[in-house]
Chain A
Amino acid sequence: MLNSRKRKIRWTFVLFFTPVALWLLLLLILPHFELLRMSFVASEYAGKSGVTLENYFGFFKEIIYWRTFVRTAVFSVLVTCIVLAISLPLAFYVTKIAGVKIQGFLMVLILLPFWVSELIRVYGWMILLRESGVIGHFMIALGLWKEPVEMLYNDVVMVMGLVYTTLLFMVVPIIGVMESLDDSLIEAAYDLGAKKLTIWKEIIIPYCMPGIMSGSIIVFMIVLGSYLTPKLMGGKSSLWFTEQIYNQFILYFNWNQGSAFGFLLLLLSSVIIWIALRMTGQKLSDVVK
């Protein structure tokens, strides 16, 4: 009896394990090994072959690759910080200040744009901001501007666009945690004479840390790997690292160089996330919950 039961359980194990193992092996493990391998193969495109470190040297030799890489990393961290600064008070408003009746309605409003694709949202900003755009039209009609001004294609607008496309990924996890924060903790601190800043620093932020971390990781990842927003809103001279990867793969057909870039981007994202988790003492498996 025991034996047959055991065998049955193994049978369901095989049923569940096989598709998952195939998925992870064929679409994650092997492709990433291939990425790593290709990055160490000399580029056929340059007429060479064999194992080499040239693709990585190539990255360090060309100042433009370097600069794009650092720029992408710095901007991603910056965007994550801005998104966090906007999301905390917003989450606080929705969970602790807004009337209980409109809370649900606010949540729906916050979630709705999340379902619209990034491309459409960026396109909306392009219509608003470009030289012949809607904002310019109103400014001229109101007599504030004399002639059309091009507001697109610079770093400030690009950062705003990235903030816009990723806001929801921060707001939602923070609201999720903040909802469960007991009001009486804040009341107690207030009664004991704590200032607002102290309450934030000592109670709200430590309590919301899991939400803040998971939001930050998701936002950082999306910004780091984004292609559309920097490409469509950023300046002509300001490349994003994903664009460098795209150029190597699609324009120059230098897959080996592109693989090295891809691997470096993967390394960068893992290192920054690891540092963030280390600094706040969180675990990845806790953060995704």
Chain B
Amino acid sequence: MIRSLPRSKAYRWGFKAFVIIYFLFLFAPLLVTCVLAFNNSMFPSLPWKGFTLDWFFSDGPQKVGFFHDQKNLRSIWVSLKTAVCVTLLSTVVGTCAAFLFEQESFRFKNALYFLMLAPLVIPGVILGISILLFTNTLGLFFENTFGLDIKLLSPGFWLVVFGQFSFISTLVALVVMARLRKFDPTLEEAALNLGANRLEVIWHITLRYLQPAIIGAAAVAFLMSFENFNTTLFLVGSQSTIPITMYLQVRDGSTPVINAISFILILTSSFLAVVNLIFARKED
């Protein structure tokens, strides 16, 4: 039944068929989406009307390609800005959390650790609405007591950043912690004995050791932020991120410009996946 044991022909072929069907199932929708980005048709469907790059480069009036589509371009820009902020914030705080839970000991550590894991089991929609409620109440409080209108607390760019940051940090922390657990503490002790202070040790030795894990976690954080829909849905202001903009277009019916965007995003994320894989290899 396994490599080293005798297997019947039916068993082997049965498994092979299952795996082939699985991969067909896995890749069919992605492949179709990409192929139809190049179809010279007004709709993202067959029949095939010839190859075209119009859905990327055309300047209208009939077809507006992605690179001339102001609404989608703006959303991509917003998403990129959001993802950069979320990645920076969550990488820093997630790494702090990893150090806190791996290297420090304090009271209520377990309770706090449990709390940090909570975002894994809280649906994104709930995170979105609870942050919306909290910031709204806080905003009203500041307005009523001090007469201050704090932009930060109403739905918009920063609220989206905070909402995504609230659960992405947990993922970063878990990835970095896994690496930190394998760290040899005698390296730190040696450096301390040689006269380095704690901060220097962390900076020159521990962080250097963690670098591949941190970069990998940052890549995942970037992608999670870029693709997030559920939490963002409730916190978004006038500046929509690309998943929200695309969702509205998909829901209401769209031109193959969505396929063109999907094609670009699929290529980019595959590239990121490979980069991440290379770093993961390096780590081992």
Contacts and interface: CB of A to CB of B under 8 A. Distances in A.
Q: Which of A34, A132, A187 has the most CB of B within 10 A?
A: A34
A40 interface: no
Interface in A157-202: 164, 167, 183, 186-187, 190, 196, 199
A8 B5 contact: no
B144 interface: no
A225 B134 contact: no
A15 B116 CA distance: 17
Given A108-B277, A221-B120, A227 B269 contact: no
B1 A16 contact: no
Interface string B19-35: 10011011111111100
Majority SS at the chain A contact face: helix
Majority SS at the chain B contact face: helix
Interface in A214-246: 217-218, 221, 224-228, 231-232, 242, 245-246
Size category, B interface: 35 or more
B230 A115 contact: no
A242 B129 CA distance: 11
Contacts of A211: none
A273 B262 CA distance: 34
A86 interface: yes
Contacts of B18: 89-90, 93
A22 to B, nearest CB: 8
A288 B2 contact: no
Contacts of A29: 115
B229 A228 contact: yes
Nearest to A186: B2
Nearest to B31: A124
Given A20-B100, A134-B45, A186-B2, A227 B229 contact: yes
A118 B127 CA distance: 18
Contact of A187 (B4, B26, B43): B4
Interface in A52-88: 86
Contacts of A273: 121
A127 interface: yes
A220 B44 CA distance: 32
B131 A183 contact: no
Interface string B84-102: 0000000011001101100
B119 interface: yes
Nearest to A106: B19
Contacts of A137: 45-47
Contact of B1 (A11, A99, A190, A228): A190
Given A31-B133, A221-B121, A120 B15 contact: no
Given A119-B246, A227-B233, A12 B19 contact: no
Given A183-B2, A225-B123, A227-B229, A126 B133 contact: no
A124 B133 contact: no
Contacts of B15: 89, 93, 97
Contact of B262 (A123, A227, A246): A123
Contact of B96 (A16, A122, A218, A289): A16
A187 B199 CA distance: 52
Interface stretch (B52-60, B67-75, B161-169, B208-216): B161-169
Nearest to A189: B1
A112 to B, nearest CB: 6
B64 interface: no
B116 A20 contact: yes
A156 interface: no
A128 B29 contact: yes
Contacts of B4: 183, 187
Contacts of B126: 35, 225, 262, 265-266
Interface string A129-173: 010111001100000000000000000000000001001000000
A43 interface: no
Contacts of A246: 125, 233-234
26 contacts: A16-B97, A17-B104, A20-B93, A20-B97, A23-B169, A27-B131, A98-B19, A109-B26, A115-B269, A115-B273, A116-B265, A120-B266, A121-B29, A127-B36, A128-B32, A134-B46, A137-B46, A137-B47, A164-B26, A187-B4, A242-B230, A258-B129, A266-B126, A269-B123, A285-B114, A288-B120
| CB-based closest 9 A-B pairs | A124-B29, A225-B123, A117-B227, A31-B130, A31-B134, A27-B166, A115-B269, A16-B100, A137-B46
Interface of A: 8-9, 11-13, 15-17, 19-20, 23-24, 27-32, 34-35, 38, 86, 89-90, 93, 96-99, 108-128, 130, 132-134, 137-138, 164, 167, 183, 186-187, 190, 196, 199, 217-218, 221, 224-228, 231-232, 242, 245-246, 249-250, 255, 258-259, 262, 265-266, 269-270, 273, 284-285, 288-289
